Homo-oligomer: A and B are copies of this chain.
Amino acid sequence: MKQYEMFELEFKGTEPEGSHAEVDLQAEFFVNGNTTSVKGFYAGNGTYKVRFYPAETGTYTYKISGVVNASGTEVCEAPAGHGIVKADGTHFTYADGTPYYPFGTTVYALAHQDDALVEETLASLEKAPFNKVRHCIFPKDYDYNHNDPEYYPFEKKEDGSWDVHHPCFAYWERFEKIIYRMGEMGIETDLILFHPYDRWGFRDMCMEDNLVYLDYLLRRLSAVPYIWWSIANEYDVVFSRKMEEWYDIEQFIVKNDPYSHLLSNHNCIVFYDFARPDITHCCVQTIAMHMTDRWMEQFKKPVVFDECCYEGDIQHEWGNISGKEMTNRFWKACAKGAYATHGETFYSDDEILWWARGGKLKGKSTERIAYLKDIIYSLPSALEQWQEPSSNEESDAALGIDLEQGKEIFQKIFSSNPPVDAANLEWKSAVYNGHAGEDVYLKYYAQQCVAITSINLPEEYTYKIEMIDTWNMTRETLVERASGKTKLKMPGKEGMAVIATRI
């Protein structure tokens, strides 16, 4: 047993007579005065397993009861990894306190492709910067994504409906292996438990079946450190599901996951209620990166733009942004201390599009995301949004007001603006600035082509100011030593950033 690594006990027994999902198998793990209760599962072929995630080192004793009765002792050694990722304020850290900054990608039906394609996808991920992959338990049926998988999560009843009490063990074993392989690469699985794009009947299962399915999944996968629960993809267009049922599903997961993995729910149109106490982070589908401010203030949780369109060229507006625009969206999110998720939808005659099925990465944003990731990981701490001290004295003076008056007056005008007009105005006026304490200040100019600009740094410290070209991935010193308000000359093009690092 190693701290932060899944520990597994295996027992031989007789095949369960009724449900293969809801088997009578409990375990308790004791260490340093703490007890963790977990449920075991039936793995097929007369094999029962108990999986456990040890959060601390020490000498564990365990007691198994139910269809198997056993007990034992295990010494939990020094960590093999960093442990489960948890939310920490508006950011994430591994269990051991190491920062984790999500730079995800999306391969919805990753595990429902043939072995050759899965291998190709994993090989692509090996070389890519992505440290999180959003993918589904259930197969997906949508444009460019119609293939039948080799295995399904359950066996079928005689009437052709799914028998959630009889998991398809081959399915789960194959699925786990893919998760493990990615875990070894440092990639978190953002596991999508339900989704609307279906022709097999998984979407419309009754709630009773849903909970049996989740029970089995949680027994089997909760001890995997590098896993997050994404209740659904586009929960709000699963028309057979009521809102209360999503809450029931959420609470069932909370009760049956002994380790409190990250938990959120992804929208198509209407955001899930991120204020719910067990929801760990805001998983949003939107391109409104400037809303980060609002959401962080409202929810005090990390904001992950888990779908902000895909780099590609298909007919759908969510699947045809340029590599430049994808890079731009990542920078917008990250500069404000939020995070974003990538995906690719380049049309090809074989209909293998990364976002759905994996394969090869073809876009231009991936290497720029890698470049950004290196920058974010090199910072002394996670970025928080930065309200740069105003430097608009001249323009305010032209209006016949001073800076203080100006704030108050503008506040009043802004608050009189109808909500939709106010929302639209923010698309023009949004700024994407972050800071790591007083050590680093970052301004990302997005679409603004500044030739002249300034940065208003603390007077007390000295900073080196560099200019970053986010597209060409170059970094150039603008000012060797600067303090306070500093004027800067820039090349007047899109996608530029300025970073000031304390000397």
Verify if A409 is at the interface (C-beta below 8 Å from B): yes
A286 contacts chain B at the CB level, 8 A cutoff? yes
Q: Interface with B: A62-70, A191-199, A215-223, which one?
A: A191-199
Q: In the assembled complex, which residues on chain B have CB atoms less than 8 Å from the CB atom of A398? A: 141-143, 196-199
Residues of A235-293 at the interface with B, using a CB-CB cut-off of 8 Å, are 236-237, 239-240, 268-271, 286-288, 291
Q: When chains A and B are docked, how far (Å) is the Cα of A447 from the Cα of B142?
A: 24
Known A237-B413, A286-B428, A309-B428; contact A452-B395, beta-carbon cutoff 8 A: no
Q: Does A88 belong to the interface (CB within 8 Å)? A: no
With A398-B197, A424-B291 as given contacts, are A452 and B315 in contact (CB-CB < 8 Å)? yes
Secondary structure at the A interface, as helix, strand, loop or mixed, is: loop
How distant is A136 from chain B, measured CB to nearest CB, in Å? 13
Bound Cα distance A451, B286 (Å): 23
A398 to B414 alpha-carbon distance, docked (Å): 42
A221 to B457 Cα, complex, angstroms: 51
Q: Show 15 A/B contacts (Cβ-Cβ < 8 Å), sorted by A.
A: A143-B398, A197-B399, A203-B400, A236-B413, A269-B425, A270-B413, A286-B421, A286-B428, A287-B424, A288-B427, A314-B450, A314-B451, A315-B454, A321-B449, A347-B452
Q: Which residues of B contact A429 (CB under 8 A)?
A: 317
Contact yes or no, A451 B291, CB < 8 A: no
The answer to whether A288 touches B143 (Cβ under 8 A) is no
Q: In the complex, are the beta carbons of B427 and A287 less than 8 A apart?
A: yes
Interface check A158, CB cutoff 8 A: no
Contacts of A425 in B (CB 8 A): 269, 286
Copies in the complex: 2
Instruction: Select A320's contact among B237, B271, B448, beta carbons within 8 Å.
Output: B448
Is A453 interfacial (CB-CB < 8 Å)?
A: yes
Q: How far, in angstroms, from A311 to B288 measured CA to CA in the complex?
A: 23
When the two chains form their complex, are residues A413 and B269 in contact, meaning their CB atoms are under 8 A apart?
yes
A15 at the binding interface (Cβ < 8 Å):
no
Q: Which residue of B lies closest to A144 (CB)?
A: B394
Instruction: Determine whether A77 belongs to the interface, using a CB cutoff of 8 Å to chain B.
Output: no
> Which of B268, B317, B450 contacts A448, CB < 8 Å?
B317
Which B residues lie within 8 Å of A381 (CB)? none
Question: CB-nearest residue of chain B relative to A284?
Answer: B421
**A36 interfacial contact with B, CB 8 Å:** no
A77–B129 Cα gap in the complex (Å)? Answer: 75
Across the interface, which residues of B come within 8 angstroms of A400, CB to CB? 196, 198, 203-204, 239-240
In the complex, whether A322 has a CB less than 8 A from a CB of chain B is yes
Is A416 interfacial (CB 8 A cutoff)? yes
Query: Which one of B239, B317, B423, B448 contacts A424 once the chains associate, using CB atoms below 8 Å?
Result: B423
